[in-house]
Amino acid sequence: MTVRMDQLSWVEYERRVRKDAPVVFLPCGATEQHGPHLPLGTDALLASALCEDVAGKIGGLVAPALSYGYKSQPKCGGGNHFCGTTSLDGQTLISLVRDAVREFARHGVTRLVLVDGHYENQWFVTEGILLAMRELGKDSQLEVMRLEHWDFCTEQTLASVFPDGFPGFALEHAAVIETSLMLHYLPNLVRIDLIPDEPPADFPPYDMYPTRTDWVPASGVLSSAKGSTAAKGAQMAADITQGIAAAVRKEFKL
C-alpha cells in the first residue's frame, strides 16, 4: 500500500483521513545546484524519500513535494547565480505553503509535518504556516510540525560519519551528508567519480549583494563530499526517520 498521496485516489485518501487521522508529510525541496555529482532535484528527492520512510513506519501519507524553493544563498547553497538553480521569490513560497496548509485543513487533516530539505526555505515555510494558521483561526484542529531533516542526525552518527570531527551543518551543501543520503536512496543519480576534492569554503560573517561569486567554489560544493558512502547514508537515514517518527508520535500523541 503506497504512502504517496499522488498515487492514491481521492476516495482512498478520504477514507484514510477520516478513519486514521494520519500524519500528512509535505516535503519542501528545491531545484538547486548540488555540485557536479548530485542532481538538481536532490533536496526534493531526499525530503520525499525520508518522508516516505517515516510515513511507512507510522501509517502516514506523503503529499507531492514542493519542487522549487527559495533563492539559494552563497553560504548555504552556493548562491543563486548557478545555472540550473531555479528559485522562487519569498512571497511565492510563502503563498504556496499557506495555500497547501489551508487545503489540508479543509480535508480534515489535523496532523501535518513540513519536512524541509532546503535550508533557505525555512523562514518562508514558517511564514506560510503562520499565515494559514491565522486564517484558519483558533478553532482549527490542525497542528503543524516543521523541521529540517538533517537536524535529526544523532551526535553519535555524526561522530561516526565524520571521524575527523563534524564541522557543522553550515557547509554541508552537496557534501558528505547529502551525498551519502543520495547514495543510500538513489545511488544511480550520484556520479561518485565527479566529486570534487576542494577544501571547505571559507565565508566571512556577512553577506554581500550582488553576490560575490568568487567566494563560492566553481563546483558549487561548499566542502568535500569525499568519504561519502551508502552505509553512512543508511545510518543517517535511520537516525532521521526514527527521530522524526518519534517526534511525531510524541507531539501528535499517536
Catalytic residue numbers?
A: 32, 34, 43, 118, 120, 173, 178
Among residue numbers 159 through 188, which ones bind its own copies (CB under 8 A)? Answer: none
DSSP state of 5: G
Q: Report how many residues bind its own copies under the rule CB under 8 A.
A: 88
State yes or no: residue 90 binds its own copies (CB under 8 A).
yes
Among residue numbers 46 through 75, which ones bind its own copies (CB under 8 A)? Answer: 63-68, 70-71, 73
- d(C-alpha 228, C-alpha 71), whole Å: 26
State yes or no: residue 8 binds its own copies (CB under 8 A).
yes
β 61-62/143-148 pair status: unpaired
Q: What backbone torsions phi and psi does residue 229 show, to the nearest 5 degrees?
A: -140, 160
Tell me the one-letter amino acid at 173.
H
The residue (of 136 and 234) whose beta carbon lies closer to its own copies is 136
| Contact yes or no for 23/248 (Cβ under 8 A) | yes
State yes or no: residue 151 binds its own copies (CB under 8 A).
yes
Q: How far is the CB of 86 from its own copies (least distance, A)?
A: 4
The residue (of 199 and 205) whose beta carbon lies closer to its own copies is 205
The residue (of 163 and 205) whose beta carbon lies closer to its own copies is 205
- C-alpha cell, 190: 550520484
Among residue numbers 129 through 148, which ones bind its own copies (CB under 8 A)? Answer: 129-131, 133, 143-148
Name the residue among 134, 67, 136, 135 with its Cα closest to residue 96: 67
